[in-house]
Amino acid sequence: MERIRSNIRMPTREIRQTVHEEYQTQISKWMASNARKLALKMIQGSAEAQYKKLWEYCVEIKKTHEGSTMEIMFTPFRESGGNPKFMRLYCCLAPLKKGFKNGCRPIIGLDGCHLKGVYRGQLLTAIAADPNNGWWPIAWAVVEREATEQWTWFLKYLSEDLEIENQCHYTFISDQQKGLDRALSEVLPGCEHRYCVQHMYRNFKKKHPGLALKDRIWNIACCTTVEMYGKAMEELQTFDKDAYEWVKKAPYPRHWCKAYFPTHVKSDMIVNNLCESFNAHIKDARDQPIITMLEIIREYLMERIQRRRAAMEKCKGSTGPLINEIVQTRVKHSSQWMPIWNALHGYQVKGPRGAQFAVDMQKKYCTCRLWEVSGIPCCHAIAAIFMREEDPYSYMDRCYSRGLFFQIYENVLQPISGEDHWPSSTMPVLDPPIPVTQPGRPKKARRRDVTEGRDHGRMLRRRVVIHCRKCGEVGHNAATCKKPSNEEAQQGSNQSSEAQPNNQQRQQSVEKDRTANDETGQQHPQQSQQHHHSQRRKNSATKLLTDAEKGAINANYAYLGKEPPFTVGNWRGRWSGRGRGRARGRGRGRQGEREMRGTVTGRGTQP
């Protein structure tokens, strides 16, 4: 009990090992899982009991974090003596609110994720970007579902906490959640709304798959001028007219293309990674009771603020490490550009393929617009800065400075007391919402798309699609192919005219044997076996591998992260295939080549 109290995320494997070490007995994983659930229920209380203490928790948060907003919405009384049911909760802690106002850029990510506990719902979040392009949480809310009504309720409280008066100054980015567009147009009609390009591409590739189209879609989204956008669209129209029509029917490019982004935000962000990262870090909290979930989120944020402050104190330079990587990448690309000075503040920068841009150092402007949109000098401007023998970091916007980073992260969260010391509340006791239990084990992680990266450190099996080298179809190999190859078909047509008399005689003899067998009731298995043997096709998998086939095998092995087996061209294999003394087992001489033919013909996708 005490070990689970100190580590509520204690896995069942560790529980089984602890029981075995202390009591010298074995328990099943189901027994360990049930024991952990019972212990958590005794420690945290039931999910229903936590709703009854929700008002006291909100009072404790307001007492320790003065200026925080904790709002609860509940259903009215249905009958005399009955308790209202919980509906929604909005939470915006004062230090997080103050940190956003102290130095975060006016771009906010909005997203929602499912809750996996007994009482289902949605967790709506609002996340900002810090000077190191990391995420800074602002507010979150527990609602019954994701719709226009819930988003409108959430955005009203958010706009009041952030004191959004000049709506044109703020930008929101989202994954086009259900009802969010309509809610933003009602509550904050003057704010800019960006769409995540990653989610747009997922809808696009359902009808237009392929890496070539993927690169073109992302190139269109990354265009920083209207002229570049128009040229990229013309290239897409020439390449695939149907894909071009899909993009034309998509939302206006001001929602997802950098060419139409305003310059005061100082962010060229086109993906909603801020909210995705936050949701991934709180994955373990989403299946817990409501107060436990809120406490896990608050404790994690309290620890994270401290860790990021300590990490930034160890860094050197005027910016954070993530911004430094962006600058160094653009410094590397600046070597391809040649600036020409006009004796004042202007530079004409020429690059590869006849590209040319104009840079104004005084206005911090380049005709590519990337410097204005992002606030970080582009590679053309860095080439001009190096010609002036100056530091590129001195031309960066102040929103990326380390000093501003510390102004944000000085707003730390405060610890709170246990529930025994929470002040009482005069509000009515809340009952939990109606539970909706889904069959099966609740899933914590969202369903990943095939284009997304997987978890690092895990070796996932990669399947290779089998293609027949004889007919070119998918799903079988040459050894099991029922269609003759072109050479066999051509040879069969040439031999058909020469073997026609013999075939006719053989057919006549077979018919005579059949009639005789019908009369006498006897069979001639030797003739039938001989006839079947004459039509049997020779297995082409016993042939030796060619250099092209060996190269294909080496390519498959390299794709799977294995050492190539054959030495062909630039490949240096571990099997020579020329004698018995070179290798043993599968790579022994010609036998190794015959066995390795399964990789080309598709007998085995895994080496």
pLDDT confidence tier of residue 252, bands split at 50, 70 and 90: very high
Mean pLDDT computed over every residue of the chain: 82
Calculate mean pLDDT across residues 202-218: 92
Calculate mean pLDDT across residues 354-363: 94
Handedness of CA 149, 154, 158, 161 (dihedral sign): positive
Burial (CB count <10 Å: 0-12, 13-18, 19+), residue 216: buried
Answer yes or no: do 38 and 94 share one domain: no
Calculate mean pLDDT across residues 220-247: 95
Is 505 part of a structural domain of the chain?
no
Answer yes or no: do 329 and 255 share one domain: no
Answer yes or no: do 163 and 309 share one domain: yes
Answer yes or no: do 40 and 8 share one domain: yes
Calculate mean pLDDT across residues 496-504: 47
Answer yes or no: do 304 and 348 share one domain: no
CA dist 442 and 96 (Å) reads 31
Q: List, in order, residues 6 or more apart from 204 with CB less than 8 Å away.
A: 213, 217, 243, 246, 247, 250
Greater confidence (438 vs 298) lies with 298
CATH no. for residue 126?
3.30.420.10
CA dist 14 and 3 (Å) reads 10
Q: What is residue 582's DSSP assignment?
A: T
| Final residue in a domain of this structure, among 368, 395, 422 | 395
CA dist 606 and 553 (Å) reads 11
Is 219 part of a structural domain of the chain?
yes
Q: Checking DSSP bridges between strand 135-143 and strand 121-129, what pairing results, if any?
A: antiparallel
Is 373 part of a structural domain of the chain?
yes
Q: What is the 3-state secondary structure (H, E, C) of 415-432?
A: CCCCHHHCCCCCCCCCEC
pLDDT score, position 455? 53
Handedness of CA 286, 290, 292, 296 (dihedral sign): positive
Amino acid at 478: A
Answer yes or no: do 299 and 265 share one domain: no
State how far the alpha carbon of 602 is from the alpha carbons of 278, 465, 472, in Å: 43, 8, 12
pLDDT confidence tier of residue 485, bands split at 50, 70 and 90: low
Is 211 part of a structural domain of the chain?
yes
Helix, strand or coil, per DSSP, at residue 146: coil
- Where is average pLDDT lowest: 112-126, 325-339, 383-397? 112-126
Q: List, in order, residues 6 or more apart from 311 with CB less than 8 Å away.
A: none
Answer yes or no: do 230 and 149 share one domain: no
Burial (CB count <10 Å: 0-12, 13-18, 19+), residue 183: buried
Greater confidence (76 vs 72) lies with 72
Answer yes or no: do 183 and 88 share one domain: yes
- Locate the DSSP E strands across 315-371: 338-341, 346-350, 356-360, 365-366
Q: What is the pLDDT of residues 535-587, one digit of tens each?
A: 444 444 445 777 777 777 777 777 666 777 777 766 555 544 444 334 343 44
Give the chain's domain count.
5
pLDDT confidence tier of residue 463, bands split at 50, 70 and 90: low
- Where is average pLDDT lowest: 5-14, 143-152, 208-217? 5-14
pLDDT confidence tier of residue 14, bands split at 50, 70 and 90: confident
Percent of the chain with pLDDT over 90: 54
Is 146 part of a structural domain of the chain?
yes
Domain of 553? 541-601
Greater confidence (316 vs 520) lies with 316
If one counts every other C-beta atom within 10 angstroms of the C-beta of residue 324, the result is 17
pLDDT at residue 200 is higher than 70? yes
Q: What is residue 85's DSSP assignment?
A: B
Greater confidence (200 vs 529) lies with 200
Is 519 part of a structural domain of the chain?
no
| Final residue in a domain of this structure, among 283, 313, 343 | 313
Answer yes or no: do 149 and 95 share one domain: yes
Q: Of 111, 112, 102, 107, which is closest to residue 128 (Cα–Cα)?
A: 107
Answer yes or no: do 93 and 120 share one domain: yes
Is 167 part of a structural domain of the chain?
yes
Answer yes or no: do 284 and 339 share one domain: no
Distance, C-alpha 107 to centroid of its chain = 21
How many CA atoms does the CB half-sphere of 366 hold within 13 Å? 27
Answer yes or no: do 162 and 301 share one domain: yes
Is 165 part of a structural domain of the chain?
yes
Calculate mean pLDDT across residues 449-467: 57
pLDDT score, position 479? 83
CB 140 within 8 A of CB 128: no
Q: Tell me the two tokens of residue 319.
A: 């910016």
CA dist 547 and 570 (Å) reads 12
CA dist 71 and 88 (Å) reads 8
